[in-house]
Amino acid sequence: MQEYERKQLLERVEREGATVGADIPETITVQGEEIDLRTFVFEIKRRETVPPGERDRVEQAKRNLRRERVERLEAIEEDDISRAEGEELAQGIIGIDRALNALENLGPTDLEREQQAKQAADKKRWMSFLKKALGQKDANSQGRGR
């Protein structure tokens, strides 16, 4: 993988709003163990509150997911991998981030507020894209040289 491709992947996984519209992976291998991640997250999310017995399980899952995220990020940064392997790792990181977001925000959901947050994130990403595409700099650099 070329260095610029590596930087693009790293930028993509660290971008604010990267998880908007992303799916939680059906299964994921964490620490050598395959986990039905989507089923686990939806099973936990559909409850109003997490029962005391399940809290430890959820916290352990979050720790394992964070550890796996760091390992995959380091693989993109440091390992000699192909572009396809990098893409796969990046998609996995975004899926892990999506699952972590869902697990961090346990409790009753406010669908209207969630929809507004998604729309705001989409608008922010779109405006950022347009600014880059049109070659506009940030507000601090405008007005110089006139």
What is residue 114's predicted lDDT score, i.e. its pLDDT? 67
**Which of 100, 90, 21 has the alpha carbon at shortest distance from 67?**
100
Q: Quick one: what percent of the chain has pLDDT higher than 70?
A: 86
Measured N-to-C along each axis, helices 52-78 and 37-45 cross at an angle, to the nearest 10 degrees, of 140
Is 35's pLDDT higher than 70? yes
pLDDT in tens, 71-127: 999 999 988 899 999 999 999 999 999 999 888 876 544 455 667 788 888 898 998
Mean pLDDT of 4-8: 90
Alpha carbon distance 32, 127 (integer Å) = 40
- In sequence order, the 6+-apart residues with CB closer than 8 A to the CB of 133 are none
Average pLDDT, the chain: 82
Looking at residue 23, the DSSP 8-state letter turns out to be P
What is residue 66's predicted lDDT score, i.e. its pLDDT? 93
- Give CA torsion, residues 76, 123, 115, 23, to 10 deg: -20
Is 145's pLDDT higher than 50? no
Highest mean pLDDT among 10-24, 32-46, 59-73, 95-109: 59-73
Q: Are 14 and 72 in contact (CB under 8 A)?
A: no
Mean pLDDT of 8-33: 84
pTM above threshold 0.95:
no
Q: What are phi and psi of 60, to 5 degrees?
A: -65, -40
Rama region for 81: left / alpha / beta (φ>0; ψ in -120 to 50; rest): beta
Neighbours of 72 (CB within 10 A): 20
